[in-house]
Amino acid sequence: MSGAEFNEEVERVVIIYEREIGHFASRTRQMIDRLGEIEALSRLMISGDLQQGFKVLRDRGLIRKTFEALVVRFKDLFKPEVVQAAQWRLDHPYELL
């Protein structure tokens, strides 16, 4: 899978999240604009904090539409520890507050 396809998928996830919360995801979009898709998602995965987007999509049955799912799907674009963190979140979604 290509980097361009990954970038399109990131945009789709953001749009789904915005639809679910009913407003523009300005902080998410600013982070992606500032850092780029790969670096932004990498930082989100290794953060000790569980992001609001994951919680919202998880609680609405859309866990396969999360950034975590994208990281695992496009694992060749990320460092192994980032993929491992994303997979852990997907495997333990309700162990996270």
Question: How far apart, in whole angstroms, are the C-alpha atoms of residue 39 and residue 32?
Answer: 8
Whether pLDDT at 2 is above 80: no
Mean pLDDT of the chain: 93
Phi, psi for residue 51 in degrees, rounded to 5: -75, 150
The two tokens of residue 85 are 């963190």
Question: 96 or 69: which carries more pLDDT confidence?
Answer: 69
For the four alpha carbons of 30, 32, 24 and 21, in that order, the dihedral sign comes to negative
- Where are the chain's structural domains? 3-91
The beta strands (E) that lie in 8-96 are given as none
pTM score, two decimals? 0.92
Task: Note the pLDDT tens digit of each residue in 39-58.
Answer: 999 999 998 887 889 999 99
Give the pLDDT band (50/70/90) at residue 97: low
The two tokens of residue 82 are 């980032």
Question: How far apart, in whole angstroms, are the C-alpha atoms of residue 85 and residue 21?
Answer: 25
